[in-house]
Amino acid sequence: MVLVDRIQIELGAQEPWPKDVKLFQPYEVEQILLPDNANCLAVQAFLKMCNLDFQVEPRANAEAMSPSGKVPFIKAGAFVISELEPIVQFINNKGITLTDKLDPEMKSDMRAYMSLVHNVMEVAELYICWCDKETYNEVTSVRYGSIYPWPLNHIQNRVKRASVIKKLKVLGWYQKSMSEVFEEVENCCQALTDRLEGKDFFFGDKPTELDALVFGHLFTILTTPLPNSHIANTVRNYPVLINLVQRIEKDYFKRETKH
Amino acid sequence: MGTVYAKSEDAPTNLPTLPPQEPHAAHPSHKPESKEIFLDGVKARVDKIHVDGLARTKDDIIEDCIRDLFKATDFQDVLLKAHRARLKLDELGCFKNIAVFIDTSKGTGASPDGLEVTFNVTEYKRVTGGVTTQVGNNEGALLVGLRAPNIFGRGERVQVEYSHGSKRTTNFNMAFIKPMRGKYRPIFTTSVFQSNAEWPVSGYKELDRGLLFDFGFHSTSLIKHNIQWEATIRDLGVLSRNTSFEVREQAGLSLKSSLRHIISIDLRDDLIFPSAGSLLQITSEAAGLGGDVGYLKNEFYVQGNYSIAEDFVLQGTLSGGYMRGLTNDMKIGMSDKYYLGGPLSLRGFRMRGVGPHSDGDALGSLAFWSSGLHLFTPLPFRPGRGGFGDLFKTHLFITAGNIGDFKISDQNFLETLAANVRISYGLGIALRLGNMARVEVNYCFPHTFERGDQTHPGIQFGIGVQFT
């Protein structure tokens, strides 16, 4: 089955980018959570950087519809692909890429930074949403449960929370205190700042998927109102990153937000 | 071992010692060695009833079952009522074995025509269990069950069942069943269940977890009612990457809370191959009392059997269903909808092969009707007559049906029902599998079908209980 799927994706790759590509994600205003929003925004930014047309299609059950159980996912013709990396791969197969000027060493660097963002920023976001009591009670549980009727909302909140905690335990994050989590975020921001210093984008004057991913996470962290705003304040200490976020927002989303 | 002694309430009135219609009792025209006796002429009354072998079963429910026996006035009546009492005792589900003995009444207080009836019962053990097979919906299943019958002595039982089907269906069910006393034979069931089913023809799988309360009673001895309330959390998952996007859009959780009323009248003489009698089932369901699934649904199933000559049975069936959504913000799940086609319904089509499809996945509709006319005859030249051969029947059939989002409010409702009718016919062999299922192997010819229908001409195999 996996092989068949893979062959089909390869075959589909030869076709040009279809006109009616849709990006499915949860409702932004009342439903989406911080980590999901970051990933959805990252994919949106990447598609815009590639100059590909798409439409955002909000769905309450986007998470269940996704083949991997994670948002966002795109539907291009008969193909349904979820998450940033497989989408990047799918688009690369069509001959569209942001990394053609990069040498192999830089490419592996980029992958390392991307996994750093996934393993620190995304996990920290999960931690804040599901393990910080205040955030969970005031934001996460209300938003995540909003699409379900009573009493399914309470059941689903518990189920989801248990699965996130399980994941955090495996990653060794559940035992961490809030200040340790912020320290990790700080280290990650510092590493990204060091890499970016003096350049427009991480790898020269053109954006890559790493820029899209960093933009997705930092923009969401900066603009999402949470009871505990410490994480946003941590990010604000890195003006180089803020500049990057503002630049991408202006160039690709044609709007400006003050951070 | 306890024993219930039930004694006749009223003192014996003076009964004539000899039956008044003596000439009828012994027929004179017959040979002396084989006397024909008219049992309804023999005066008799029941003096005493013994029930032996009772341990934890309470007396009151036993008394309810056997009380009628005291009202018998002649010997035939005694036999019939004893038989009925035995059936009632069996229905309690407390006894493994029930034997009935009838003897003349002896000892003090015995009336001249008095009889003593003894029921010898063996109670079930505290816990019983077993592994059995189960058949339904074109699928065989292995069923592992554990039962605690008669826990509080009044027929209450707890049962836990787990079944695993050949098509990756798994079911878990835990039920508490409480029969109640009364002339409508009410029975209360509450159960917790989890079921998992895969539907490759529709491209989805569904995991249901829920609660069911069922109240069953008989309004007359043949009309059975069930009133149910069901609350289920349903998780619809996409079966594969190739599943149609329209099915994918339905993925996710839904909560259904529904009230259901089922009436069934079964007058057939046999479950698998009836030769006479009819069956009527009407189900009405209202979902939307809480939860996010809302619809009104009505369906019926009628089956009539007519014996046209010895062992030649004509069977006609008609079923239909109609549902509509309650409000726009309430969902109707894929498993709530109607599907048509397959070896159990419209033969000559694939399972769920009739009606709207998207990328080969059946999507279901809001209304359907289907009917069938079957002729069951013995096998040609009747091999194995009176034994093994009687399990098989030759089967000729014609089935017809239609499915779609019909609306009763539509002006030409009847015309839309009749337009685009699908018809198929064929012949084959039907087999009785124990007393639990009918197996059919048919050669089918789809006669009338629409574009987009998935036909299945040729040999089709079906196994199940309820066929169209």
pLDDT tens sequence across A160-182:
999 999 999 999 999 999 999 99
Q: Distance from B146 to chain A by nearest Cα, in Å?
A: 29
Residue A84: both structure tokens together: 């940033």
Phi, psi of B40 (to 5 degrees): -75, -10
Helix runs in A147-208, H state only? 152-171, 178-196
- Are A85 and A139 contained in the same domain? no
Percentage of chain A exceeding pLDDT 70: 94
Q: Distance from B250 to chain A by nearest Cα, in Å?
A: 8
Phi, psi of B6 (to 5 degrees): -105, 130
**Which residue has tokens 């002649």?**
B74
User: Is the bond into A72 cis (omega within 30 degrees of 0)?
Assistant: yes
How many whole angstroms separate alpha carbon B57 and alpha carbon A61? 53
Contact state of B251 with A156 under an 8 Å Cβ cutoff: no
Tell me yes or no: is domain B2-123 CATH 3.10.20.310: yes
- Closest chain B residue to A77 measured between Cα atoms? B245
How many Cβ atoms from other residues are within 10 Å of residue A133's Cβ?
9
- Using CA atoms in the order B346, B350, B354, B359, what is the torsion angle rounded to 10 degrees? 170
pLDDT of residue B34: 62
Q: Which member of B249, B255, B292 has the closest CB to residue A65?
A: B249
Angle between helices A209-223 and A123-131 (to 10 degrees): 20
Q: Which helix (H) or strand (E) holds B52?
A: strand B45-54
pLDDT of residue B17: 43
CA gyration radius for chain B? 27
Considering only CA atoms, which of B209, B208, B207 is closest in space to residue B237?
A: B207
At A203 the three-state DSSP class reads coil
Task: Name the pLDDT band for B5 (thresholds 50, 70, 90).
Answer: low
- Are A45 and A155 contained in the same domain? no
CB distance A214 to A241 below 8 Å:
yes
Residue B463 β-bridge partners:
B439
Task: Name the pLDDT band for A53 (thresholds 50, 70, 90).
Answer: very high
Residue A120 within a domain: yes
How many whole angstroms separate alpha carbon A168 and alpha carbon A172? 6
Quick one: fold of B180-464? Porin (2.40.160)
Residue B141: both structure tokens together: 């299943």
What angle is formed at CA B49 by the lines to CA B43 and CA B51, rounded to 5 degrees?
Answer: 150
Q: Tell me the average pLDDT across B23-40.
A: 54
- As to burial, measured by CB atoms within 10 angstroms (0-12 exposed, 13-18 middle, 19+ buried), residue A225 is exposed
Return the amino acid letter for B236: L
- Who contacts A101 (Cβ-Cβ below 8 Å, separation ≥6)? A204, A206
Q: Distance from B202 to chain A by nearest Cα, in Å?
A: 15
Q: Which helix (H) or strand (E) holds B450?
A: none
Q: What is the CATH number of the domain that holds A187?
A: 1.20.1050.10
State whether the Cα torsion B418-B424-B425-B430 is positive or negative: negative
Residue A97 within a domain: no
Task: Name the pLDDT band for A143 (thresholds 50, 70, 90).
Answer: very high
Task: Name the pLDDT band for A8 (thresholds 50, 70, 90).
Answer: low
Chain B interface test: which of A6, A150, A152 (most B C-beta within 10 Å) = A152
At B43 the three-state DSSP class reads strand
Task: Name the pLDDT band for B262 (thresholds 50, 70, 90).
Answer: very high
- Closest chain B residue to A61 measured between Cα atoms? B252
- Answer with the one of A29, A58, A92 that is the final residue of a domain: A92
Return the amino acid letter for A196: L
pLDDT of residue A204: 85
pLDDT of residue A210: 94
- Are A113 and A241 contained in the same domain? yes
Which residues of chain A from 120 to 179 reach within 8 Å of chain B, CB to CB? 148-150, 152, 155-156
How many whole angstroms separate alpha carbon A230 and alpha carbon A232? 5
How many whole angstroms separate alpha carbon B44 and alpha carbon B46? 7
- Are A82 and A111 contained in the same domain? no
CB distance A259 to A245 below 8 Å:
yes
- Answer with the one of A92, A121, A148 that is the final residue of a domain: A92
Side-chain-side CA neighbours of residue A2 (13 Å): 0
Q: How far is CA B20 from CA B14, B43, B68, B263, in A?
A: 14, 9, 24, 46
- Are A139 and A244 contained in the same domain? yes
- Are A168 and A200 contained in the same domain? yes
Q: Report the greatest alpha carbon distance in chain A.
A: 54
A111-115, B48-52, B58-62, B409-413: least confident range? B409-413
Taking the Cβ of residue A59 and every Cβ of chain B, the question of whether any pair is shorter than 8 Å is answered with yes
At A2 the three-state DSSP class reads helix
Q: Which member of A64, A65, A149 has the closest CB to residue B292?
A: A149
If one counts the domains in chain A, the total is 2
The mean predicted confidence, pLDDT, of chain A is: 90
* ipTM exceeds 0.95: no
Segments forming the whole domain that contains residue A204: 104-253
Q: How far is CA A7 from CA A2, A93, B131, in A?
A: 9, 12, 44
Task: Name the pLDDT band for B98 (thresholds 50, 70, 90).
Answer: very high
Residues of B in contact with A152 (CB under 8 A): 233, 253, 255, 291-292
User: Is the bond into A151 cis (omega within 30 degrees of 0)?
Assistant: yes
How many whole angstroms separate alpha carbon A246 and alpha carbon A238? 13
- Are A223 and A119 contained in the same domain? yes
How many whole angstroms separate alpha carbon B215 and alpha carbon B58? 23
**Which residue has tokens 């017959």?**
B30
The mean predicted confidence, pLDDT, of chain B is: 87
Contact state of B238 with A156 under an 8 Å Cβ cutoff: no
- As to burial, measured by CB atoms within 10 angstroms (0-12 exposed, 13-18 middle, 19+ buried), residue A83 is buried
Q: How many residues does chain B have?
A: 468
pLDDT digits (tens, 9 = 90+) for B184-242: 889 999 999 999 999 999 999 999 999 999 999 999 888 999 999 999 999 999 998 88
Task: Name the pLDDT band for B110 (thresholds 50, 70, 90).
Answer: confident
Q: Tell me the average pLDDT across B92-106.
A: 88
Q: Distance from A111 to chain B by nearest Cα, in Å?
A: 27
Contact state of A152 with B253 under an 8 Å Cβ cutoff: yes
- Are A58 and A179 contained in the same domain? no
Task: Please check the confidence at residue A194 and state whether its pLDDT lies above 50.
Answer: yes
Q: Which DSSP category does B110 fall into?
A: -
Task: Please check the confidence at residue B76 and state whether its pLDDT lies above 90.
Answer: no
Chain A interface test: which of B207, B234, B238, B241 (most A C-beta within 10 Å) = B241
Contact state of B248 with A1 under an 8 Å Cβ cutoff: no
Domain ranges of chain B: 2-123, 180-464
Residue A136 within a domain: yes
What angle is formed at CA B458 by the lines to CA B454 and CA B460, rounded to 5 degrees?
Answer: 80
pLDDT of residue B22: 40
Q: Which helix (H) or strand (E) holds B134?
A: strand B128-136
Residues of A in contact with B290 (CB under 8 A): 149-150
- Answer with the one of A33, A62, A92 that is the final residue of a domain: A92
How many whole angstroms separate alpha carbon B98 and alpha carbon B119? 7
Contact state of B233 with A80 under an 8 Å Cβ cutoff: no
Phi, psi of B180 (to 5 degrees): -115, 165
- Closest chain B residue to A24 measured between Cα atoms? B249
How many whole angstroms separate alpha carbon A29 and alpha carbon A60? 11
Phi, psi of B265 (to 5 degrees): -120, 115
pLDDT of residue B37: 67
pLDDT digits (tens, 9 = 90+) for B424-461: 999 999 998 877 789 999 999 999 998 889 999 999 99
Q: Tell me the average pLDDT across B357-375.
A: 93
Task: Name the pLDDT band for B31 (thresholds 50, 70, 90).
Answer: very low
Considering only CA atoms, which of B348, B268, B247, B371 is closest in space to residue B313?
A: B268
Task: Please check the confidence at residue A6 and state whether its pLDDT lies above 90.
Answer: no
- Are A125 and A42 contained in the same domain? no
Considering only CA atoms, which of B238, B141, B154, B131 is closest in space to residue B195?
A: B141
Task: Name the pLDDT band for B18 (thresholds 50, 70, 90).
Answer: very low
- Are A56 and A161 contained in the same domain? no
Residue A258 within a domain: no
- Are A157 and A69 contained in the same domain? no
Task: Name the pLDDT band for B312 (thresholds 50, 70, 90).
Answer: very high
- Are A8 and A85 contained in the same domain? yes
Q: Tell me the average pLDDT across A139-145.
A: 94
Chain A interface test: which of B253, B327, B361 (most A C-beta within 10 Å) = B253
**Which residue has tokens 């319904």?**
B345
